[in-house]
Amino acid sequence: MDRPATPPPPERLQQLQAYTTTRPDICALVPQGARRVLDVGCSNGALGVSLMHDRPGCLVDGIELDEELARQAAQRLAHVTRADLDRFDWTSWNPDARYDCIVFADVLEHLADPARHLVAARSRLTGGGCVVLSLPNVRHLSALVAIFARGRFPRRARGLFDRTHLRWFTLSDADALLADCGYAPEERILSLRWSDQGGGRANRWLNRLPQGMREWAPVREFLTYQVSLRTRPQPS
């Protein structure tokens, strides 16, 4: 009799739950007319499957570091490359491939040099192509409380204080990063949360706020947990 599979440790389970979602915010920013998409950090391919389902004829390629997640994604997406992005060579990888949209969903904050990847992505876009990305907001209320009120910088398995984060961004930092890499923001979605842990009912109420209230400075700066952006290269 086969032994039952050993369940993953709790921290690994939390990471899988965080990185294997369909991400409606990202899907909403990927143009409906996109026919070829590259999902950088594609996890198990869940986001790519959602994109292909909603956009008939769309093909999604992926890049993923985790061996097991890459194996799962390869069964669901058009093509998957297993690679460490910090060592990834954009110039030699699939040099003829061009994409209508390149997605960096919860990826750039994990990289040693996120700007390098944004700059390289420009040469892989079709004419009129875009980059869609998401970043956590380190100016969120929960970070301010932890650092300034409690004198702690928590490190957790997932969320704003994910211990695998190498870079930290405010909303202004995100705008500056894009500008430095030659991009102009086109549309953004602010995901609001009351706290880093829990707060389900309050979070749902916050995300029902009209757009005007979301852009009110105290809400935008301190209750935005994550920003998702669609951006395009600026003309040379």
**This prediction's pTM:** 0.89
Contact indicator for 15, 38 with CB cutoff of 8 Å: no
- Residue 9, pLDDT > 70, answer no
Alpha helix locations (H) across the chain?
A: 10-19, 24-29, 46-54, 67-74, 114-122, 141-144, 171-180, 200-206, 211-214, 217-223
> What are the structural domain ranges in the chain?
19-137+166-193+227-233
- Share the mean pLDDT of the chain: 90
Quick one: tokens of 206? 């916050």
Q: Residues 150-178: pLDDT tens digits?
A: 888 877 877 888 989 999 999 999 999 99
Quick one: tokens of 209? 């706020």
For the segment 107-123, the average pLDDT, to the nearest whole number, is 97
Quick one: tokens of 157? 């398995």
What pLDDT is recorded for position 20?
61
Task: Name the residue with higher pLDDT: 215 or 6.
Answer: 215
What pLDDT is recorded for position 6?
53
Provide the angle, in degrees to the nearest 10, between the axes of the packed helices 114-122 and 171-180.
50
For the segment 65-83, the average pLDDT, to the nearest whole number, is 96
Torsion sign (Cα): 10, 67, 30, 52 = negative
pLDDT level of residue 13 (50, 70, 90 thresholds): very low
For the segment 107-120, the average pLDDT, to the nearest whole number, is 97
- Residue 17, pLDDT > 80, answer no
Task: Tell how strand 79-82 and strand 99-105 pair up.
Answer: unpaired
Q: Write down the CATH number for the domain with range 19-137+166-193+227-233.
A: 3.40.50.150
For the segment 194-213, the average pLDDT, to the nearest whole number, is 84
What pLDDT is recorded for position 3?
52
DSSP class of 129: E
pLDDT level of residue 68 (50, 70, 90 thresholds): very high
- Residue 4, pLDDT > 60, answer no
